[in-house]
């Protein structure tokens, strides 16, 4: 690379990832094949529209790429329609609102401070600005409050309900959620960005067949490039009425919302990398991977509970842990910094009913997707829990954190990134 400044920064980031433990639950490590597709000549091609219906010539190969990605997504998740063009998760969710409700309509989603996402109705987000947003919460135990949701739907009568989370460690009961949505005839939208890989692996129930629309990013537990997909079932019975907001028209409604509704040309290099990741996710080994993510998270939770850490809901069913550090006399931001100095990357996070600001919350969030990708299993989780405890307990001791950083760096050499050569025996 001729740009030495950028080359140096890329190398530094690679070194940080190789020598540390990536434990932010929304992050993962992609394969060499995904990276190769992402950096391909496909990035040069403009292709507004859909395969066979482009506004540009010369699209025969990018058409084939997008068709592969769509077919693989449909097969993997068991749906009849897939749109693989969303640039990322937030634009994908915006497209779903655009397709199914009008500005000012009542929408409902989990509150960000209780584990939800900004695009699920946060007041300062577009979803809480252009729509009348009402927000549901967890109970004091940290579990989703289905009773509160039921009461809110009866009172507020939302037209669309988002279900999904960024910091919820338990299973979503999709059939129960559909029953709640049906009270007001609301569209039920499943945002499975965090758990899509677990759904593929059979480690979390699938929302397909219960949710009207499923959205997922492709760069979390699916282990692909940054991007997103919108999945649904449907087949317009009357093409002249395909724009009506009816379940059978969902494919048309979603596609029109992406283009010409909100986006221009798709990122073809991204689409190709998504296709590669979907092929990888269809292999038998991926099911083992997804289940190992959950095994690792459960062992990590058990070990931290032994060390008197307060886990929201008391444990986990999926890939992440949400930890309330109040009893450890340290705030989330300080724990994040201490762990980072030790070579463990997590993020500060609010916990349910947090008395502190989201900029200085009481908790931290961590997960096991990326470290599982590197081949770490139950035994390594015991060691990692010990390091987490020592780093948090010694947050103000620079010498201990430096020592931990060296230990973790040596440990990580045994578990290369998927795009790196295997360590020598």
The residues assigned a catalytic role are 46, 48, 191, 217, 220, 226
**Pairing of β 81-83 and β 228-232:** antiparallel
Please state the φ and ψ torsions of residue 76, each to the nearest 5 degrees.
Answer: -65, -40
d(CA 138, CA 168) in angstroms, rounded, equals 9
- Whether 79 contacts 70, CB under 8 Å: no
Q: What three-state secondary structure class fits 388? A: helix
8-state DSSP, 274:
H
Under 8 Å between Cβ of 30 and 224: yes
At 183 the three-state DSSP class reads helix
- What letters, b where the CB count within 10 A reaches 16 and e where it falls short, cover 185-204? ebbbbbbbbbbbbbbbbebb
| Element holding 12 (H helix, E strand) | helix 4-19
Strand 344-345 and strand 21-22: pairing?
Answer: parallel
Residue located via tokens 């779903």: 96
- Secondary structure (3-state) at 235: coil
What Å distances lie between residue 282 and 197, 199, 279, CA to CA?
A: 10, 12, 5
Candidates 33, 40, 1; CA nearest to 419 is 33
Q: Across 204-333, where does the E strand assignment appear?
A: 213-217, 228-232, 310-311, 320-324
| C-alpha–C-alpha distance, residues 94 and 78, integer Å | 23
DSSP 50: E
Q: What is the largest CA-CA distance in the chain?
A: 71
In this structure, are residues 273 and 224 in contact, taking their beta carbons and an 8 Å threshold?
yes
Q: Which two tokens stand for residue 373?
A: 């990708």
Residue 407's CB is within 10 A of a number of other CB atoms, namely: 15
Scan for tokens 């859909």, then name that residue.
50
Distance between first and last Cα of the chain: 32
């Amino acid at each position: 690379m001729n740009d030495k400044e950028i080359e140096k920064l890329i190398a530094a980031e690679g070194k940080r990832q190789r020598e540390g433990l990536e434990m932010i639950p929304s992050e993962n490590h992609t394969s060499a094949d995904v990276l190769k597709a992402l950096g391909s000549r496909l990035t040069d091609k403009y292709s507004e529209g859909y395969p066979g219906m482009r506004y540009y010539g010369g699209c025969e190969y990018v058409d084939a790429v997008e068709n592969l990605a769509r077919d693989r997504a449909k097969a993997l998740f068991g749906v009849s329609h897939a749109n693989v063009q969303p640039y990322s998760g937030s634009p994908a969710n915006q497209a779903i609102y655009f397709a199914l409700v009008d500005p000012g309509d009542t929408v409902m989603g989990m509150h960000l401070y209780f584990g939800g996402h900004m695009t699920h109705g946060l007041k300062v987000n577009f979803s809480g600005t252009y729509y009348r947003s009402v927000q549901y919460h967890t109970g004091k135990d940290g579990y989703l409050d289905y009773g509160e949701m039921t009461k809110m739907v009866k009172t507020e009568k939302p037209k669309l309900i988002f279900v999904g989370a960024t910091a919820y460690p338990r299973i979503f009961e999709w059939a129960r959620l559909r029953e709640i949505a049906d009270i007001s005839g609301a569209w039920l939208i499943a945002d499975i960005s965090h758990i899509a890989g677990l759904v593929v692996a059979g480690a979390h129930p699938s929302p397909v067949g219960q949710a009207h629309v499923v959205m997922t990013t492709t760069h979390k537990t699916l282990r692909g490039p940054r991007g997103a997909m919108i999945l649904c079932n449907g087949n317009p019975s009357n093409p002249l009425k395909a724009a009506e907001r009816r379940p059978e028209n969902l494919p048309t409604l979603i596609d029109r919302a992406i283009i010409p509704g909100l986006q221009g040309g798709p990122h073809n290099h991204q689409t190709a990398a998504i296709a590669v990741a979907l092929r990888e996710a269809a292999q038998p080994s991926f099911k083992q991977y997804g289940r190992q993510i959950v095994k690792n998270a459960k062992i990590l939770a058990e070990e931290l509970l032994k060390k008197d850490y307060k886990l929201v809901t008391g444990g986990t069913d999926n890939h992440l842990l949400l930890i309330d550090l109040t009893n450890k006399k340290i705030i989330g931001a300080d724990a994040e910094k201490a762990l980072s100095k030790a070579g463990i990357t997590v993020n500060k996070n609010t916990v349910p009913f947090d008395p502190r600001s989201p900029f200085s919350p009481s908790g931290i969030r961590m997960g096991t997707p990326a470290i599982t990708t590197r081949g770490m299993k139950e035994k390594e989780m015991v060691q990692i829990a010990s390091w987490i405890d020592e780093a948090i307990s010694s947050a103000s001791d620079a010498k201990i954190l430096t020592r931990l950083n060296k230990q973790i760096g040596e440990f990580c050499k045994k578990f290369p990134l998927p795009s790196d050569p295997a360590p020598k025996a």
